[in-house]
Copies of this chain bind each other. A is one copy, B any other.
Amino acid sequence: MTTPPSTRMAAEIAEQPEAARRTLEHLLPQRAELRAAHAGRRRVLMVARGSSDNAATYGRYLLEVAAGVPAGLAAPSVATHYGARLDLSDTLVVSVSQSGATAEIVETQDWARRCGAATVAVTNVGDSPLAAEADVALVTRAGAELAVPATKTYLTQVLALAVLADALGADLEASLATVPAAVADLLGTDVTEAARALAEADEVVVSGRGLLLGTALETALKLEETCLRPVRGYSYADLRHGPISVVTHGVLAVLVAAADGPLAAPMVELAGDLRGRGARILGIGGTTAFAGQCDVHLPGPDLPEVVAPIGSIVPAQLTIERLARDLGLDPDNPRGLAKVTRTDTSAG
C-alpha cells in the first residue's frame, strides 16, 4: 500500500541534501565574521519561537558541550512586554526566524542591541528586517518553502547553528561535510509501519535528551500541527519528574536518540522503562541496543551525536508527512496555521 508522495512537504523534505550543501557552502566562509562578533563576549543568548526555538535548543546544547561557550534561551516577553533593562554587553544574541519578519523576534533583537549585545540573525530570507539589522546575517539557502510545516528551513537553521558553534570553538568541520550525504541516505526510509503505529496510538509522547532534545521537541510540534492531534514533547528528565506516571497501555512513546555519546545508554534504559509501563516505542536513531527496545525503529543519520540533530529530524518528517496523508489530512496546509506566526508585541 503506497500513497504517492505528491505533496509539497514531501518535495521539500527531498530537497534537503541540496539545501544543506548550498547552506554550508555559503555559511562556512562567514566563520571569521562570527568570531569577530563574539570576540570579547562571554556567552550566547538565543531568541526564537516555535520550530526555530527547537533549533535554538540544539544550538544552546552544542555551544555549551562542544564549544565551551555558556548559552541560553531568551524569554522574548522580557524585552517586548516588560522592557527590562539588562546589561548584555558580554553577550552575543542569536535570533532565529525562518521569515526574518516575525515582529516579536525583530523587536527582541533590536532590544538586545540597545542592551549592548552583538547580534547574529539566522534566517532564510536575506532581505528581511532581521537580517538587515543584525551585525552578522547567516542566511540559510533552503529556497522558498511553500508547505506550512517547516522542514528544509528547520534543517538548515540547525545546520547554521552548527556552523556558529564551529566558528566559536567546536571542531565540527569534517563532520559537517558529511551532512548532505547522510541526509540523502535517509530519504528512502520506509515509514509505513511508523505512521501506522502513530495512527493506532491513543496518546503520543515524544522524548529526547541533551543534544537531541530539540529534535524531540520539533518532532512533537510537527506531529501536533501537521496531524492535528495533541502530542506532548518532554525532555527525558521532565518525563521522569511526573508525566511518566500517565504513560501506560495505548501510549506510543517516540524516542529520538544518537548512536554515540553519553546519553546513548540512558536512552536505552528509558525505552525499557516505558515499555515496562505498557507503552509501545517508536525509536529514531540510537544504538543497536536502543533499536532492540523499540517496537518500531527508524534508522538515524550516519553522523556523530554533535551533528546528528541535523539529520535526525528527517525520519520524523517523512513519518509525519505520511501519517497526515494516511489520516486524510493535507500535510501542506494544516488547519489554523499561517506561515508567519504573530505573537503580539504591543504592551497593553
Task: Identify the A interface with B (CB < 8 A).
Answer: 42-43, 45, 49-51, 53, 60-61, 64-65, 68-70, 72-73, 75-78, 81-88, 90-91, 104, 203, 209-210, 221, 224-225, 228-230, 232, 236-238, 240-246, 262-266, 269, 277, 334-337, 341-344, 347-348
A87 to B73, CA, bound (A): 18
Copies of this protein, total: 2
Contacts of A229 in B (CB 8 A): 246
Q: How far is the CB of A149 from chain B (nearest CB, A)?
A: 9
Q: Could you list 23 A-B pairs, sorted by A, with CB under 8 Å?
A: A42-B90, A49-B238, A49-B241, A50-B238, A50-B241, A61-B78, A68-B86, A70-B87, A70-B91, A72-B72, A77-B210, A77-B263, A81-B262, A81-B263, A221-B242, A224-B245, A225-B243, A236-B343, A240-B341, A241-B343, A266-B344, A266-B348, A269-B344
Top 8 A-B pairs, shortest CB-CB distance: A265-B348, A50-B241, A72-B72, A245-B336, A225-B242, A81-B262, A65-B82, A237-B343
Contact of A246 among B77, B82, B104, B228 (CB under 8 A): B228
B64 touches A75 (CB 8 A): yes
Given contacts A87-B70, A336-B244, A337-B245, contact A78 B65 (CB under 8 A): yes
Contact of A347 among B49, B224, B243, B262 (CB under 8 A): B262
